[in-house]
Chain A
Amino acid sequence: MFLPRLQRRRKVGRMFHAACALTSLIGLAFLVVLITRVAWEGLPWLSLKFLTNFPSVLNPPNAGVKSAMWGTMWLIGITAMVSVPVGVAAAIYLEEYAPNNRLTRFIHVNIANLAGVPSIVYGILGLAVFVRWLRFDRSVLSGALTLSLLIMPVIIIATREALLAVPQSFRHAAYALGATRWQTIRAHVLPAALPGIMTGVILAVSRAIGEAAPLLMIGALTYVTFVPEGPRDAFTALPLQIYDWCDRPQQVFHHLAAAGILVLLGILLPMNAVAVAIRAWHQRRKAW
């Protein structure tokens, strides 16, 4: 009555298994090819001189990323100082204080949508608000504020998830002892959620480090031979410098771009690794 054809089904199943495993490896393969290529092109050009020189169009072999790195440091410093407290505070409100009404749900939906808005639209917003309207001009401040707006939804979502993961029993226990809401949050909820929040913040900031499109929009220069001295100075950033070098047709600039990418990845990959390590450590260690 039944013709199960098990042999054939098994064989097809094995092929499918292999196909799925293969597709999983394609991502890995691409990563390997990418990094190998970048290292191949860029390592010969990576030197202390590269890190400490300014870029030079006329003298490419002596070009460097000094201005870009300083610009990135200024940029990220201000971005982190603005976006992290505001983002975490917003998430604390949404998770710990907000009543479950239409306004709160609207804010949630709003944040999810903001997280999906293309980064260049944030650049347009920054151009109109910070550069033109507030007259911060094409300065580090404009760039940092634009990037802050960009990564804030990401920080809020990550912090919310970290707060949600803290069991309600923690809060109830504290309230039962007569603690106020803020005392509970500060002493019990935040410490428990801290690893999750740190992971989210590190990943968000590393995203900001790699962004170029919003900075192009606010008018950050791509060829800069000075270091910013204050928030109102003009600047460039590492991704912008890389973009500028890529855009030039001569081969030598592509090598410089590869070296710049190595510096950028050299900053970002350890940051991502730390974030993932914190998450893994927290998963293993937490007692609930």
Chain B
Amino acid sequence: MRTLARWRERSIHSVVFTCALLSIVTTGGIIWVLTTESIAFFREVSPIDFFLGTRWAPLLEPRSFGILPLVCGTFLVAGGALVVAIPIGMGTAVFLSEYAPPWARSVLKPILEVLAGIPTVVYGYFALTFITPHVLRPLIPQAEVFNAASAALVVGVMIIPTIASLCDDAFRAVPKALREGAYAVSATRLEVSLRVVVPAAMSGIVAAILLAFARAIGETMAVTLAAGMTPKLTLNPLESIQTLTAYIVQVSLGDTPAGTIEYQSIFACGLTLFAITLAINVIAHRILRRFREVYE
């Protein structure tokens, strides 16, 4: 009986260990897949032309594989999303942690979760069929049918819950004693919130913004539907652009046989996207870990 139990324990241990190893296998798989096909790609297209080139025309002659227009489009939308999400997200977080009575908290937090749970196709639909024709173009007639601004707006709303809840966590990590010390020297609630709590939570806030930025960069469906399919190096949000993610979708929707340069460009773009979001996530998590160490 003892040996049976021991055998059972050991086999369970192996099973759960294998499941945990799967995560490493997944990461290895992603890196392997992206790099091998990208190597094939970089045999045809020089990395310098790819990373520094300013014209992305994979299908038209003369072909050009300069990725900067796609990166620019991605950052334009993601940056615009931050412009929307940071003030609203942080304002919500300050309200939740410093001002809101408990009943308001219990209503607002679920609403934020619902907002976070809405699929991105729905946001894309909303940008395409409502924001652009009924909100943006009436106000600014020069806006094109596909434009970066409406995509940036909905992606911004999409990441508000991320910023709001991470900033709320950061504010609540600031000890009550610090607030009490400030109130005791005759500070008003505004002064305590803005001049004591926010500075004390700053690295948590920065980490939250970085994580939200990475999410906005990786966003696919909303930008595919609303931002356009024209890679362009521009800072004008009213124009149609193309993001990295939208390009990857565009190619895979078409019939591209394996082994062609277009097929391989998916992997090169995927590698770039993966590298950017990984770098941002790693930095954000490191900042977050250091922030937690200070307050725990």
Q: Report which A residues bind B (CB closer than 8 A).
A: 4, 9-10, 12-13, 16-17, 19-24, 26-28, 30-31, 34, 37-38, 41, 86-87, 89-90, 92-94, 97-98, 106-107, 109-114, 116-125, 127-129, 132, 149, 152-153, 156, 180-182, 203, 206-207, 209-213, 216-217, 219, 239, 242-243, 246-247, 254, 257-258, 261, 264-265, 268-269, 272, 276
Contact = CB atoms under 8 A, between A and B. Distances in A.
Nearest to A272: B117
Interface stretch (B45-53, B64-72, B233-241, B276-284): B276-284
A27 B157 contact: yes
Contact of B274 (A37, A121, A219): A121
B243 to A, nearest CB: 10
B16 A93 contact: yes
B101 to A, nearest CB: 11
Given A17-B189, A24-B91, A118-B218, A37 B20 contact: no
B249 A216 contact: yes
Interface stretch (B30-38, B55-63, B136-144, B175-183): B30-38
B248 interface: yes
Contact of B112 (A17, A27, A38, A119): A27
B214 interface: yes
Given A41-B129, A127-B252, A243 B13 contact: no
Contacts of A112: 281, 285
B15 interface: yes
Contact of A98 (B20, B87, B122, B161): B20
B131 to A, nearest CB: 10
B245 interface: yes
A76 B130 CA distance: 30
Given A113-B281, A216-B253, A243-B121, A97 B17 contact: yes
B12 A182 contact: yes
B190 interface: yes
Nearest to A218: B252
B24 A107 contact: yes
Interface string B17-35: 1011111101101100110
B19 A246 contact: no
A281 to B, nearest CB: 13
A118 B124 CA distance: 17
12 contacts: A4-B186, A27-B157, A28-B111, A41-B129, A118-B273, A119-B218, A121-B34, A124-B34, A125-B26, A210-B122, A212-B221, A276-B113
Which has the most chain A C-beta neighbours within 10 Å: B8, B129, B215, B266? Answer: B129
B98 to A, nearest CB: 8
A196 B128 CA distance: 37
Contacts of B121: 210, 212, 239, 242-243, 246, 261
B95 A23 contact: yes
A261 B225 CA distance: 15
Given A9-B190, A120-B273, A152-B23, 17 more contacts: A16-B193, A17-B189, A30-B115, A37-B126, A93-B13, A107-B21, A116-B214, A116-B281, A118-B277, A119-B218, A121-B273, A124-B266, A181-B13, A207-B117, A210-B120, A213-B120, A268-B119
